Amino acid sequence: MALRQRALKMGFTLNEYSLAKVEDAKPVARKTEEEIYAKLKLDFIPPELRENLGEIEAAAGHTLPVLIQLSDIRGDVHMHTVETDGRNTIAEMAEAARERGYEYMAITDHSKNLAFANGLTDKRAMAHIERIRAVEKEMKSIRIFAGIEVDILGDGSLDLSDSVLEQMDIVIASVHSQFNQDRATMTERLLKAIANPNTSLIGHPTGRLLLRRDAYQFDLDAVLKAAAKHKVAMELNSYPDRLDLSDVHLRLAKQHGVKIVINTDSHHTSHMEKMRYGILQARRAWLKKEDVLNALPVAEFTQAMKHVW
Ligand SMILES: [Zn+2]
Ligand SMILES: [Zn+2]
């Protein structure tokens, strides 16, 4: 039997087989993966990194990153309530977040441009902030940020008044309409949203819906450059049909010095558990907890949403 087949039959993955490199090498038979890596004088490579993208060299040079894990996440800061298109109240969402052991969370309902979601006007947004503050006072044991997922309109302006956005702890700016703009127009649109001093992060930045809608066309490099300059974070939306940014784009964001916020975009308390998909994707992108703002303690995270990192 050819060595390759024999190695595979013995339970080696292709990647581990390729570590042996030469056709006539003897398979490295050990009981556990850890022992195999140790035998090969390599640091253990987490399965998410086994894509032949430099991980073998990093393992040999002891420079593999300590990848982020679910327990590093201290808060989930993108969620909706019955005030727009969510299924639960502020208090129910906050209670679910507290049960998950989070130190903080944010309510970020939609703005009025998303009419089918009953998006908030300036006036309703202000009243919503009051309700969020009241629930926080009652619950005490979790910080509830008052936020908004505000639409980035076709011309790059945001869908609510600056005076309202200024009252928010977190402003997620997202594209929910006019996905077919040409590349230059869409790029300008995103750059204008990033330059708005109220914007904390860009929600689901490419707009892709897996198996349903391609990403809209824009210059990601230009957008990441601007995000780094203005200290606006990029979201990793953990919702399974989004997973946006992708692992490749997350690596690019990191190269540009842009920080990431991993959110679930929960529309129901049961959606919060989808954080684990975002974590898996972040790990594939080699992200460490230092790259992810919602792994920060509450005081630092609060500052980060106001461009201080
Ligand atoms: Zn959205
Ligand atoms: Zn959302």
Inform me whether the pLDDT recorded for 261 exceeds 90: yes
Mean pLDDT of the chain: 94
pLDDT, mean of residues 66-90 = 98
Q: Answer yes or no: do 206 and 78 share one domain.
A: yes
Q: Is residue 98 part of a domain?
A: yes
CA of 253: how far to CAs of 27, 111, 224, 278, in Å? 39, 27, 6, 15
Please say which residue of 16, 32, 60 terminates a domain. 60
Q: Is residue 122 part of a domain?
A: yes
Q: Is residue 65 part of a domain?
A: no
Q: Which ligand is nearest to the CA of 177?
A: 1
pLDDT, mean of residues 200-208 = 98
**Chain-centre distance for alpha carbon 39:** 36
Q: How far is the CA of 296 from the centre of ligand 1 (A)?
A: 23
From 16-20, 80-84, 99-103, 247-251, the region with the lowest mean pLDDT: 16-20
Q: How far is the CA of 306 from the centre of ligand 1 (A)?
A: 20
Q: How far is the CA of 204 from the centre of ligand 2 (A)?
A: 8
Q: Is residue 53 part of a domain?
A: yes
For the stretch 158-199, pLDDT in tens is 999 999 999 999 999 999 999 999 999 999 999 999 999 999
Q: How far is the CA of 79 from the centre of ligand 2 (A)?
A: 6
Positive or negative CA dihedral for 16, 19, 21, 26? Answer: negative
Q: Answer yes or no: do 31 and 117 share one domain.
A: no
Q: What is the CATH number of the domain that holds 42?
A: 3.30.210
Give the pLDDT of residue 30. Answer: 84
For the stretch 26-71, pLDDT in tens is 677 788 999 999 999 999 999 999 999 999 999 999 999 999 999 9
Q: Answer yes or no: do 129 and 205 share one domain.
A: yes
Q: How far is the CA of 196 from the centre of ligand 1 (A)?
A: 18
Please say which residue of 11, 37, 60 terminates a domain. 60
Q: Answer yes or no: do 44 and 120 share one domain.
A: no
Q: Answer yes or no: do 154 and 35 share one domain.
A: no
For the stretch 112-164, pLDDT in tens is 999 999 999 999 999 999 999 999 999 989 999 999 999 999 999 999 999 99
Answer for the pair 155, 189: CB distance below 8 angstroms, yes or no: yes
Q: How far is the CA of 176 from the centre of ligand 2 (A)?
A: 10
Q: Which ligand is nearest to the CA of 174?
A: 1
Structural domain range at position 40 = 3-60
Number of domains in the chain: 2
State how far the Cα of 252 lies from the Cα of 204, in Å rounded to an integer.
15
CA of 47: how far to CAs of 11, 52, 288, in Å? 14, 11, 15
Q: Is residue 117 part of a domain?
A: yes
Q: Which ligand is nearest to the CA of 205?
A: 1
Q: How far is the CA of 111 from the centre of ligand 1 (A)?
A: 10
Q: How far is the CA of 237 from the centre of ligand 1 (A)?
A: 9
Q: Answer yes or no: do 33 and 175 share one domain.
A: no
Give the pLDDT of residue 219. Answer: 98
Q: Is residue 309 part of a domain?
A: no
State how far the Cα of 171 lies from the Cα of 173, in Å rounded to an integer.
6
Q: Answer yes or no: do 79 and 51 share one domain.
A: no
Please say which residue of 11, 42, 60 terminates a domain. 60
Q: Is residue 164 part of a domain?
A: yes
At 9, the pLDDT band (50, 70, 90 cuts) reads low
